[in-house]
C-alpha cells in the first residue's frame, strides 16, 4: 500500500440520506435495474491519463499537482500503477482505460518504449490477479510527442506512418494481453491546420489504410474486443477528419469497415461538434455502430474540450435513455474521460470527483429506466408517426414514384393538416423523472 489516499475510506453505497461525503448516494452496484445489476449496466472506468498522468497544466501555466509518481522512470511508473489500483479499489471501479504514454516512460528509442510498455503491462497483469478491476480499453497516444505534430496515420512523412503503425501494434498487443474489451483509436492529430500545405484526399486514404491494418492485426492475433473510433471535431487541429459520428460512418463505409469498427462517443466532443450527446448516441445506434462512451461534460461557454466530471442530470439521463433503447452496452462502458480542475490539488478531490460522477450516472440511469418503464415518451413518439402504419403509406416507401405521389394527392384530395410536435409537454414529462 502507498500512503497517497491515507485516511480516505472505501466508498460504499449509503443511500440518498448519507451524511458522509465519502459515500455513494445513488450508485448501488448490486441494485437490480431492468433485470440487470447497476454495475453491469454502467460499466464504469477510470481514465489513467486524466487521473494519474495529467499534471494540472493549461496553456498559461504548467504543473500544479504534486504527485510522488511524476517523473520518467519505470520505478515511478510502478508507483503510479500502485496508486491507480488503490483508487480503483477505493471506488470499486470495474474498469480502467489507458494510453501507452500514460503508463510507461518514453524510451530513447522505439525498442526502449516498447520494453517499458511491456514491463508495465506485466506489472498491471500481476496487480489484476488480485484486483476486481478489468481493462475496458487500451489505446496509443499518437498526438503528444512532436513526431506526431503533423499527424500519425495522416502524416505527409511515411516514416511517421510506420512509427505510428508499430506503436499501434504494441498497444493492441498490450490491450489483448490484459484482456481488454475494446481497443480505441482517437485521431488526435489526424487533421490539418491549413489546406495550403495539405493534400486531404491523400491523407484520408492513409487513414483508411491505417485503420484497415489495425483491424487486420486484431483479427490475426485473435483479439476478441471491439475496435472503436472516437470522433472529435476542431481540437487539436483546426480540421479533424473524425469530426462526428456521421462523418466516421461515411469513412467506415468508404473503406468497408462499418461491420468491423464502432464508435466511442464523448459528451464534450459531441458538444464541440454542435450536437447533443444523445443525438450522437442515437445516431450511432441507428447505424449499428454504437460501442462505448467517454463520459464528461464541457463548459458551455469556453468553446473547448474542458473534460469536466458530469453533473447535469437531464443530459446524463437522456444519454442513458438512448443507450438503454439501443439494448445497453455489449463490450462498451462508461469511461470517465474527465479531469479535475487544476486547483483541485488534494487526493480526496480525485476520489470525490469520481464519487460524484458515478452518482450522477446512477441517477441518470435510474431516470432513464423510469422513463422507459413509464412508456409515455415512446408512446407519444410512436403516435407522431402512426400515419405511416397503413399499408398504403408503407407502399410510398417501397416502390412508389413521384408520379404515384402526384396521383394520390390529386385523386384522394390530399391536403396535409399540421399537427403539434408537443415539445413543451414532452419536456415537462422528462422533468417528472429527474
Ligand atoms: C481527447 C480524447 C482522448 C481519447 C483517448 O480529447 O477524448 O482522451 O479519449 O485518446
Ligand atoms: Ni476528449
Ligand atoms: Ni475521450
Ligand 3 centroid distance, CA of 136 (Å): 13
305 lines ligand 1 (CB under 6 A): yes
H-helix or E-strand spanning residue 348: helix 347-374
307 lines ligand 1 (CB under 6 A): no
Report which protein residue has its CA nearest ligand 1's atom 3: 186
Q: What is the dotted CATH code of the domain comprising 12-374?
A: 3.20.20.150
Q: Mutate which of 292, 337, 339 to test ligand 1's pocket (most atoms within 8 Å of Cβ)?
A: 337
Q: Mutate which of 189, 232, 243 to test ligand 1's pocket (most atoms within 8 Å of Cβ)?
A: 232
Beta strands in 276-407 (DSSP E): 290-295, 334-336
Beta 191-192 vs 334-336: how paired, if at all? unpaired
Q: What residues have a C-beta under 5 A from ligand 2, the ion?
A: 266, 305
User: Which grid cell is 387?
Assistant: 400515419
pLDDT per residue of the chain (434 residues) written in tens, 0 to 9:
999 999 999 999 999 999 999 999 999 999 999 999 999 999 999 999 999 999 999 999 999 999 999 999 999 999 999 999 999 999 999 999 999 999 999 999 999 999 999 999 999 999 999 999 999 999 999 999 999 999 999 999 999 999 999 999 999 999 999 999 999 999 999 999 999 999 999 999 999 999 999 999 999 999 999 999 999 999 999 999 999 999 999 999 999 999 999 999 999 999 999 999 999 999 999 999 999 999 999 988 888 899 999 999 999 999 999 999 999 999 999 999 999 999 999 999 999 999 999 999 999 999 999 999 999 999 999 999 999 999 999 999 998 999 999 999 999 999 999 999 999 999 999 999 99
Question: DSSP assignment of 78-104, as one string?
Answer: HHHHHHHHHHHHHHT-SEEEEEHHHHS
How far apart are the C-alpha atoms of 231 and 185, rounded to whole Å? 9
How far apart are the C-alpha atoms of 420 and 402, rounded to whole Å? 27
Residues 250 and 215 sit within 8 Å (Cβ to Cβ): no
Beta strands in 145-270 (DSSP E): 182-186, 191-192, 226-230, 239-240, 261-266
- Domain layout of the chain by residue ranges: 12-374, 378-432
Report which protein residue has its CA nearest ligand 1's atom 4: 186
Cα dihedral across residues 287, 288, 294, 296: positive or negative:
positive
Greatest distance between any 2 Cα atoms in the chain? 82
Ligand 3 centroid distance, CA of 133 (Å): 20
Q: Tell me which residue of 105, 167, 109 sits closest to 138, measured CA to CA.
A: 167
173 lines ligand 1 (CB under 6 A): no
Amino acid at each position: 500500500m502507498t500512503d497517497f489516499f491515507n485516511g480516505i475510506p472505501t466508498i460504499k453505497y449509503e443511500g440518498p440520506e448519507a451524511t458522509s461525503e465519502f459515500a455513494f448516494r445513488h450508485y448501488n452496484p448490486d441494485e437490480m435495474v431492468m433485470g440487470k445489476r447497476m454495475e453491469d449496466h454502467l460499466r464504469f472506468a477510470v481514465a489513467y491519463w486524466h487521473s494519474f498522468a495529467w499534471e494540472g497544466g493549461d496553456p498559461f501555466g504548467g504543473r500544479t499537482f504534486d504527485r510522488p509518481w511524476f517523473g520518467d522512470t519505470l520505478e515511478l511508473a510502478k508507483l503510479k500503477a500502485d496508486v491507480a489500483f488503490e483508487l480503483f479499489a477505493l471506488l470499486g471501479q470495474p474498469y480502467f482505460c489507458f494510453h501507452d504514454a500514460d503508463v510507461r516512460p518514453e524510451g530513447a528509442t522505439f525498442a526502449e518504449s516498447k520494453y517499458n510498455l511491456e514491463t508495465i503491462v506485466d506489472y498491471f497483469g500481476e496487480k489484476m490477479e488480485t484486483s476486481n478491476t478489468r481493462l475496458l480499453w487500451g489505446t496509443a497516444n499518437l498526438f503528444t510527442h512532436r513526431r506526431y505534430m503533423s499527424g500519425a496515420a495522416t502524416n505527409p512523412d511515411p516514416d511517421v506512418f510506420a512509427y505510428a503503425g508499430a506503436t499501434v501494434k504494441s498497444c493492441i498487443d498490450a490491450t489483448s494481453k490484459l484482456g481488454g474489451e475494446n481497443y480505441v483509436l482517437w485521431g488526435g492529430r489526424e487533421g490539418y491546420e491549413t489546406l495550403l500545405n495539405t493534400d486531404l484526399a491523400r491523407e484520408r486514404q492513409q487513414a483508411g489504410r491505417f485503420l484497415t491494418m489495425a483491424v487486420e492485426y486484431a483479427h490475426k492475433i485473435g483479439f476478441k474486443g471491439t475496435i472503436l473510433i472516437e470522433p472529435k471535431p476542431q481540437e487539436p487541429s483546426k480540421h479533424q477528419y473524425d469530426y462526428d459520428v456521421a462523418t466516421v460512418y461515411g469513412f467506415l463505409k468508404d473503406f468497408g469497415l462499418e461491420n468491423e469498427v464502432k464508435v466511442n462517443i464523448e459528451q464534450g466532443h459531441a458538444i464541440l461538434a454542435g450536437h447533443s450527446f444523445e443525438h450522437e448516441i442515437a445516431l450511432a445506434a441507428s447505424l449499428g455502430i454504437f460501442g462505448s462512451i467517454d463520459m464528461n461534460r464541457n463548459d458551455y461557454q469556453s468553446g473547448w474540450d474542458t473534460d469536466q466530471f458530469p453533473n447535469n442530470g437531464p443530459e446524463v439521463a437522456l444519454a442513458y435513455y438512448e443507450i438503454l433503447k439501443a439494448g445497453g452496452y455489449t463490450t462498451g462502458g462508461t469511461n470517465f474521460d474527465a479531469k479535475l480542475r487544476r486547483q483541485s490539488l488534494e487526493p480526496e478531490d480525485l476520489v470525490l470527483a469520481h464519487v460524484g460522477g458515478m452518482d450522477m450516472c446512477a441517477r441518470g440511469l435510474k431516470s432513464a429506466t423510469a422513463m422507459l418503464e413509464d412508456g409515455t415518451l415512446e408512446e407519444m413518439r410512436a403516435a407522431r408517426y402512426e400515419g405511416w402504419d397503413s399499408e398504403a403509406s408503407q407502399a410510398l416507401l417501397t416502390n412508389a414514384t413521384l408520379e404515384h405521389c402526384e396521383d394520390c394527392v390529386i385523386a384522394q384530395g390530399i391536403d396535409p393538416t399540421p399537427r403539434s410536435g408537443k415539445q413543451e409537454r414532452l419536456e415537462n414529462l422528462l422533468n417528472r423523472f429527474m
